[in-house]
Amino acid sequence: MEIFPLAAESLGSRGMCVVVKTQDQQILIDPSVSLGPLRYGLKPHLKEIAAAYLSRQLILEAVKRSTIIIQTHYHGDHYTLGIERPYEFTDHKIQEQVYNHPNIIILAKDHKKKINYNQKKRAHWLWEKNVKIYSADANKFLYGKTQITFSPPLPHGATGSQSGWVISVFIEDLESSVLLTSDVHGPSNDAALEFILENNPKHLILDGPSTYHPKQMQEETEAAFRRLHQLPHEHYYLDHHFLRDRNWPGILEEQNLTKKAFPLSSLVINTPLCLESRRDELHAMEPMKGQYQDFYSLFEEKNEAILSIIKDRASTLPFAFLKQGL
Protein backbone atom coordinates (compact mmCIF):
# COMPACT_ATOMS: atom_id res chain seq x y z
CA MET A 1 0.00 0.00 0.00
CA GLU A 2 1.27 3.46 -0.93
CA ILE A 3 -0.10 6.78 0.38
CA PHE A 4 0.47 10.15 -1.30
CA PRO A 5 -0.93 13.45 0.04
CA LEU A 6 -1.91 15.87 -2.74
CA ALA A 7 -3.44 18.73 -0.75
CA ALA A 8 -3.02 19.53 2.93
CA GLU A 9 -2.14 22.42 5.20
CA SER A 10 1.36 20.96 5.51
CA LEU A 11 1.61 21.21 1.71
CA GLY A 12 0.69 24.89 1.77
CA SER A 13 -3.08 24.91 1.15
CA ARG A 14 -6.34 23.78 2.71
CA GLY A 15 -7.30 20.20 1.99
CA MET A 16 -7.13 16.58 3.03
CA CYS A 17 -6.71 14.98 -0.39
CA VAL A 18 -4.87 11.67 -0.42
CA VAL A 19 -4.17 8.97 -3.01
CA VAL A 20 -4.13 5.43 -1.65
CA LYS A 21 -2.67 2.77 -3.92
CA THR A 22 -3.67 -0.69 -2.74
CA GLN A 23 -2.69 -3.99 -4.35
CA ASP A 24 -5.32 -3.55 -7.06
CA GLN A 25 -6.97 -0.12 -6.77
CA GLN A 26 -6.02 3.55 -6.90
CA ILE A 27 -8.30 5.45 -4.52
CA LEU A 28 -8.55 9.25 -4.54
CA ILE A 29 -9.99 10.70 -1.34
CA ASP A 30 -11.59 14.18 -1.20
CA PRO A 31 -10.22 15.57 -4.50
CA SER A 32 -10.16 19.31 -3.89
CA VAL A 33 -8.10 22.17 -2.52
CA SER A 34 -8.74 25.72 -1.31
CA LEU A 35 -7.21 28.59 0.65
CA GLY A 36 -8.59 30.63 3.50
CA PRO A 37 -9.90 33.87 1.94
CA LEU A 38 -8.69 35.98 4.89
CA ARG A 39 -6.11 35.36 7.62
CA TYR A 40 -4.64 38.11 9.80
CA GLY A 41 -6.81 40.40 7.65
CA LEU A 42 -4.77 39.42 4.57
CA LYS A 43 -5.66 37.61 1.37
CA PRO A 44 -3.54 34.60 0.33
CA HIS A 45 0.07 35.17 -0.59
CA LEU A 46 1.43 34.21 -4.02
CA LYS A 47 3.28 31.26 -2.47
CA GLU A 48 -0.01 29.92 -1.08
CA ILE A 49 -1.76 30.42 -4.42
CA ALA A 50 1.05 28.52 -6.15
CA ALA A 51 0.69 25.66 -3.66
CA ALA A 52 -3.06 25.48 -4.29
CA TYR A 53 -2.45 25.52 -8.04
CA LEU A 54 0.06 22.66 -7.77
CA SER A 55 -2.31 20.61 -5.62
CA ARG A 56 -5.11 21.13 -8.17
CA GLN A 57 -2.81 19.88 -10.96
CA LEU A 58 -1.80 16.84 -8.91
CA ILE A 59 -5.48 16.04 -8.31
CA LEU A 60 -6.25 16.23 -12.03
CA GLU A 61 -3.32 13.91 -12.77
CA ALA A 62 -4.39 11.44 -10.08
CA VAL A 63 -7.94 11.26 -11.45
CA LYS A 64 -6.62 9.84 -14.73
CA ARG A 65 -5.36 6.70 -12.99
CA SER A 66 -7.90 6.33 -10.21
CA THR A 67 -10.46 3.54 -10.04
CA ILE A 68 -12.36 4.87 -7.00
CA ILE A 69 -13.11 8.36 -5.68
CA ILE A 70 -14.19 8.78 -2.05
CA GLN A 71 -16.11 11.93 -1.06
CA THR A 72 -16.36 12.34 2.72
CA HIS A 73 -18.44 15.55 2.57
CA TYR A 74 -19.08 18.60 0.39
CA HIS A 75 -17.05 21.52 1.71
CA GLY A 76 -14.92 23.28 -0.92
CA ASP A 77 -11.58 22.15 0.51
CA HIS A 78 -12.75 18.53 0.08
CA TYR A 79 -15.17 18.67 -2.84
CA THR A 80 -14.41 20.24 -6.23
CA LEU A 81 -17.11 22.84 -6.80
CA GLY A 82 -18.59 23.73 -10.18
CA ILE A 83 -18.28 27.48 -9.65
CA GLU A 84 -15.25 29.72 -9.86
CA ARG A 85 -13.99 30.87 -6.51
CA PRO A 86 -10.67 32.54 -5.73
CA TYR A 87 -7.69 30.26 -5.12
CA GLU A 88 -9.47 26.97 -5.91
CA PHE A 89 -8.61 26.83 -9.64
CA THR A 90 -11.89 25.26 -10.61
CA ASP A 91 -15.10 25.79 -12.55
CA HIS A 92 -17.74 23.48 -14.02
CA LYS A 93 -15.23 22.09 -16.56
CA ILE A 94 -12.77 21.12 -13.84
CA GLN A 95 -15.60 19.62 -11.79
CA GLU A 96 -16.48 17.46 -14.80
CA GLN A 97 -12.85 16.41 -15.20
CA VAL A 98 -12.71 15.26 -11.60
CA TYR A 99 -16.00 13.42 -11.20
CA ASN A 100 -17.64 12.57 -14.51
CA HIS A 101 -15.91 9.33 -15.53
CA PRO A 102 -17.91 6.23 -16.51
CA ASN A 103 -15.14 3.92 -15.29
CA ILE A 104 -14.57 5.50 -11.88
CA ILE A 105 -16.68 4.39 -8.93
CA ILE A 106 -17.66 7.17 -6.52
CA LEU A 107 -18.37 6.32 -2.89
CA ALA A 108 -19.82 9.45 -1.33
CA LYS A 109 -21.45 10.92 1.73
CA ASP A 110 -25.18 10.38 1.31
CA HIS A 111 -26.90 13.45 -0.17
CA LYS A 112 -30.26 12.92 1.54
CA LYS A 113 -29.51 11.80 5.09
CA LYS A 114 -27.52 13.58 7.80
CA ILE A 115 -26.56 16.49 5.59
CA ASN A 116 -27.11 20.21 6.03
CA TYR A 117 -28.74 22.48 3.46
CA ASN A 118 -25.62 23.97 1.84
CA GLN A 119 -23.87 20.63 1.44
CA LYS A 120 -27.06 19.06 0.08
CA LYS A 121 -27.23 21.74 -2.63
CA ARG A 122 -23.61 21.13 -3.59
CA ALA A 123 -24.02 17.35 -3.61
CA HIS A 124 -27.05 17.49 -5.90
CA TRP A 125 -24.96 17.91 -9.07
CA LEU A 126 -22.76 14.91 -8.29
CA TRP A 127 -25.68 12.58 -7.58
CA GLU A 128 -27.58 13.72 -10.66
CA LYS A 129 -24.71 12.97 -13.04
CA ASN A 130 -24.60 9.70 -14.93
CA VAL A 131 -21.80 8.20 -12.88
CA LYS A 132 -21.35 5.11 -10.74
CA ILE A 133 -22.08 6.64 -7.35
CA TYR A 134 -23.08 4.88 -4.14
CA SER A 135 -23.99 6.01 -0.64
CA ALA A 136 -21.02 5.33 1.61
CA ASP A 137 -22.55 6.10 5.02
CA ALA A 138 -21.94 3.13 7.37
CA ASN A 139 -21.46 0.84 4.36
CA LYS A 140 -18.74 -1.61 3.35
CA PHE A 141 -17.46 -2.34 -0.17
CA LEU A 142 -15.14 -4.99 -1.59
CA TYR A 143 -13.27 -4.45 -4.87
CA GLY A 144 -10.88 -7.28 -5.63
CA LYS A 145 -8.34 -7.41 -2.81
CA THR A 146 -9.40 -4.02 -1.44
CA GLN A 147 -12.04 -3.57 1.24
CA ILE A 148 -13.40 -0.12 2.10
CA THR A 149 -15.38 0.47 5.30
CA PHE A 150 -17.12 3.72 6.17
CA SER A 151 -18.23 5.13 9.49
CA PRO A 152 -21.78 6.28 10.12
CA PRO A 153 -22.20 10.05 9.66
CA LEU A 154 -20.07 11.82 12.25
CA PRO A 155 -20.34 15.45 13.42
CA HIS A 156 -18.09 17.91 11.60
CA GLY A 157 -16.35 18.69 14.86
CA ALA A 158 -17.89 18.37 18.30
CA THR A 159 -21.29 16.78 18.84
CA GLY A 160 -23.99 19.24 17.78
CA SER A 161 -21.77 21.01 15.24
CA GLN A 162 -23.61 23.31 12.83
CA SER A 163 -21.19 22.41 10.02
CA GLY A 164 -22.96 19.16 9.19
CA TRP A 165 -21.68 15.60 9.05
CA VAL A 166 -18.76 13.72 7.52
CA ILE A 167 -17.77 10.09 7.07
CA SER A 168 -14.45 8.52 8.03
CA VAL A 169 -12.99 5.83 5.78
CA PHE A 170 -10.96 2.68 6.50
CA ILE A 171 -9.17 1.02 3.56
CA GLU A 172 -7.40 -2.32 3.73
CA ASP A 173 -5.85 -4.82 1.37
CA LEU A 174 -4.08 -8.10 2.15
CA GLU A 175 -0.90 -6.31 3.24
CA SER A 176 -1.77 -3.06 4.99
CA SER A 177 -4.48 -0.57 6.00
CA VAL A 178 -5.13 3.16 6.37
CA LEU A 179 -7.88 5.20 8.04
CA LEU A 180 -8.64 8.83 7.18
CA THR A 181 -10.95 10.57 9.61
CA SER A 182 -12.03 13.57 7.51
CA ASP A 183 -13.20 16.62 9.49
CA VAL A 184 -13.82 15.25 12.97
CA HIS A 185 -11.68 18.00 14.57
CA GLY A 186 -9.53 15.89 16.77
CA PRO A 187 -11.46 13.55 17.11
CA SER A 188 -13.86 15.82 18.95
CA ASN A 189 -16.49 13.15 19.59
CA ASP A 190 -16.51 9.58 20.91
CA ALA A 191 -18.07 8.02 17.81
CA ALA A 192 -15.11 9.15 15.68
CA LEU A 193 -12.67 7.70 18.21
CA GLU A 194 -14.58 4.42 18.35
CA PHE A 195 -14.38 4.00 14.57
CA ILE A 196 -10.58 4.34 14.78
CA LEU A 197 -10.24 1.91 17.68
CA GLU A 198 -12.56 -0.66 16.10
CA ASN A 199 -10.53 -0.81 12.89
CA ASN A 200 -7.04 -0.23 14.34
CA PRO A 201 -5.38 0.82 11.05
CA LYS A 202 -1.67 0.55 10.39
CA HIS A 203 -1.67 4.10 9.04
CA LEU A 204 -3.88 6.82 10.56
CA ILE A 205 -4.59 10.28 9.13
CA LEU A 206 -6.42 12.76 11.38
CA ASP A 207 -7.49 16.36 10.84
CA GLY A 208 -6.78 17.44 14.42
CA PRO A 209 -8.50 20.01 16.65
CA SER A 210 -9.11 23.55 15.34
CA THR A 211 -6.92 25.25 17.92
CA TYR A 212 -6.41 28.24 15.59
CA HIS A 213 -10.11 29.11 15.43
CA PRO A 214 -11.40 31.85 17.75
CA LYS A 215 -14.68 29.97 18.27
CA GLN A 216 -12.95 26.74 19.30
CA MET A 217 -13.79 26.23 22.97
CA GLN A 218 -10.97 25.25 25.32
CA GLU A 219 -12.89 22.31 26.74
CA GLU A 220 -13.40 20.92 23.22
CA THR A 221 -9.68 21.18 22.51
CA GLU A 222 -8.82 19.45 25.77
CA ALA A 223 -11.33 16.67 25.05
CA ALA A 224 -9.87 16.18 21.56
CA PHE A 225 -6.37 15.75 22.94
CA ARG A 226 -7.62 13.33 25.60
CA ARG A 227 -8.97 11.18 22.76
CA LEU A 228 -5.71 11.47 20.84
CA HIS A 229 -3.89 10.15 23.89
CA GLN A 230 -6.16 7.11 23.85
CA LEU A 231 -4.92 6.03 20.43
CA PRO A 232 -2.68 2.94 20.60
CA HIS A 233 -0.65 3.88 17.51
CA GLU A 234 3.08 4.45 17.77
CA HIS A 235 2.70 7.27 15.27
CA TYR A 236 0.04 8.90 13.10
CA TYR A 237 -0.43 11.87 10.78
CA LEU A 238 -2.08 14.99 12.20
CA ASP A 239 -2.86 17.77 9.75
CA HIS A 240 -5.61 19.94 8.21
CA HIS A 241 -7.34 22.16 10.84
CA PHE A 242 -4.62 21.66 13.43
CA LEU A 243 -1.81 22.88 11.18
CA ARG A 244 -3.56 26.21 10.63
CA ASP A 245 -2.28 27.07 14.11
CA ARG A 246 1.08 28.85 13.97
CA ASN A 247 2.03 27.23 17.28
CA TRP A 248 1.20 23.63 16.37
CA PRO A 249 4.75 22.38 17.14
CA GLY A 250 4.58 23.95 20.59
CA ILE A 251 1.16 22.44 21.27
CA LEU A 252 2.44 18.98 20.32
CA GLU A 253 5.34 19.47 22.71
CA GLU A 254 3.01 20.52 25.51
CA GLN A 255 0.90 17.43 24.85
CA ASN A 256 3.98 15.17 24.70
CA LEU A 257 3.04 14.10 21.16
CA THR A 258 6.08 15.24 19.17
CA LYS A 259 7.27 11.65 18.71
CA LYS A 260 3.82 10.36 17.72
CA ALA A 261 2.09 13.01 15.59
CA PHE A 262 3.57 14.04 12.23
CA PRO A 263 2.34 16.33 9.44
CA LEU A 264 0.89 14.55 6.43
CA SER A 265 3.61 16.14 4.31
CA SER A 266 6.23 13.97 6.03
CA LEU A 267 5.15 11.17 3.69
CA VAL A 268 6.69 13.05 0.76
CA ILE A 269 8.86 16.01 1.92
CA ASN A 270 11.09 16.72 4.91
CA THR A 271 9.76 20.11 6.05
CA PRO A 272 6.05 21.07 6.18
CA LEU A 273 5.07 24.25 4.33
CA CYS A 274 2.23 25.43 6.63
CA LEU A 275 1.85 28.68 4.70
CA GLU A 276 -1.52 29.95 5.93
CA SER A 277 -0.35 30.22 9.53
CA ARG A 278 2.60 32.30 8.29
CA ARG A 279 0.64 34.51 5.89
CA ASP A 280 1.52 37.73 7.69
CA GLU A 281 5.21 36.82 7.56
CA LEU A 282 5.00 35.97 3.85
CA HIS A 283 3.39 39.31 3.03
CA ALA A 284 6.00 41.14 5.09
CA MET A 285 8.86 39.39 3.28
CA GLU A 286 7.32 39.66 -0.19
CA PRO A 287 4.43 42.14 -0.50
CA MET A 288 1.88 41.13 -3.12
CA LYS A 289 -0.12 43.14 -5.61
CA GLY A 290 -3.89 42.65 -5.63
CA GLN A 291 -3.90 40.96 -9.04
CA TYR A 292 -2.74 37.70 -7.52
CA GLN A 293 -5.28 37.65 -4.72
CA ASP A 294 -8.13 38.37 -7.13
CA PHE A 295 -7.11 35.57 -9.48
CA TYR A 296 -10.09 33.39 -10.32
CA SER A 297 -9.84 31.63 -13.63
CA LEU A 298 -7.57 29.22 -15.47
CA PHE A 299 -9.35 30.01 -18.71
CA GLU A 300 -9.55 33.76 -19.21
CA GLU A 301 -6.92 35.01 -21.67
CA LYS A 302 -6.37 38.17 -19.66
CA ASN A 303 -4.97 36.05 -16.84
CA GLU A 304 -2.32 34.23 -18.89
CA ALA A 305 0.56 36.38 -17.62
CA ILE A 306 -0.50 35.93 -13.98
CA LEU A 307 -1.00 32.19 -14.46
CA SER A 308 2.50 31.91 -15.92
CA ILE A 309 3.96 33.46 -12.76
CA ILE A 310 1.89 31.11 -10.57
CA LYS A 311 3.03 28.08 -12.59
CA ASP A 312 6.67 29.11 -12.29
CA ARG A 313 6.35 29.52 -8.52
CA ALA A 314 4.53 26.18 -8.23
CA SER A 315 7.36 24.40 -10.05
CA THR A 316 9.77 25.41 -7.27
CA LEU A 317 7.72 23.91 -4.44
CA PRO A 318 9.26 20.82 -2.82
CA PHE A 319 6.35 18.49 -3.64
CA ALA A 320 6.25 19.37 -7.36
CA PHE A 321 8.03 16.07 -8.10
CA LEU A 322 4.84 14.16 -7.22
CA LYS A 323 3.33 15.00 -10.61
CA GLN A 324 5.69 12.57 -12.33
CA GLY A 325 4.83 9.66 -10.04
CA LEU A 326 1.02 9.72 -10.03
CATH classification of the domain holding 270: 3.60.15.10
Q: What is the pLDDT of residue 315?
A: 95
Q: What's 42-108 look like in SS3?
A: ECCCHHHHHHHHHHHHHHHHHHHHCCEEEECCCCCCCCCCCCCCCCCCCCHHHHHHHHCCCCCEEEE
Give the model's confidence band at 130: pLDDT under 50 very low, under 70 low, under 90 confident, else very high: low
Q: In 183-285, at which residue ranges do the beta strands (DSSP E only) sit?
A: 203-206, 236-238, 261-262
77 located within any domain: yes
Q: Residue 126: helix, strand or coil by DSSP?
A: helix
Give the model's confidence band at 72: pLDDT under 50 very low, under 70 low, under 90 confident, else very high: very high
Give the model's confidence band at 321: pLDDT under 50 very low, under 70 low, under 90 confident, else very high: very high
240 located within any domain: yes
Given a cut of 60, whether residue 296 has pLDDT beyond it is no
Q: What is the pLDDT of residue 219?
A: 87
326 located within any domain: no
Give 91-129 pLDDT, tens digit per residue: 899 999 999 998 999 999 999 999 999 999 999 999 998
Q: What is the pLDDT of residue 175?
A: 96
**Can you give the pTM of this predicted structure?**
0.96
Q: What is the pLDDT of residue 295?
A: 62
Domain total of the chain: 1
Stretch 245-254: mean pLDDT: 97
CA distance linking residue 108 with residue 110, whole number of Å? 6
Q: Residue 34: give the domain boundaries.
A: 2-321
CA distance linking residue 156 with residue 189, whole number of Å? 9
Stretch 187-203: mean pLDDT: 96
Q: What is the pLDDT of residue 279?
A: 96
Given a cut of 80, whether residue 63 has pLDDT beyond it is yes
> Hey, what amino acid is at 78?
H
CA distance linking residue 314 with residue 317, whole number of Å? 5
- For residue 40, is it left (φ>0), alpha (ψ between -120 and 50) or beta? left
Give residues with Cβ within 8 angstroms of 299, minimum separation 6: 91, 93
Given a cut of 80, whether residue 274 has pLDDT beyond it is yes
**Best CA proximity match to 75, nearest among 134, 4, 151, 157:** 157
**Which of 44-48, 197-201, 294-298: highest mean pLDDT?**
197-201
294 located within any domain: yes
81 located within any domain: yes
Q: Residue 118: helix, strand or coil by DSSP?
A: helix
Q: What is the pLDDT of residue 88?
A: 85
pLDDT over 90 for what percent of the chain? 80
Q: How far is CA 200 from CA 8, 171, 179, 213, in A?
A: 23, 11, 8, 30
146 located within any domain: yes
35 located within any domain: yes
Given a cut of 80, whether residue 168 has pLDDT beyond it is yes
203 located within any domain: yes
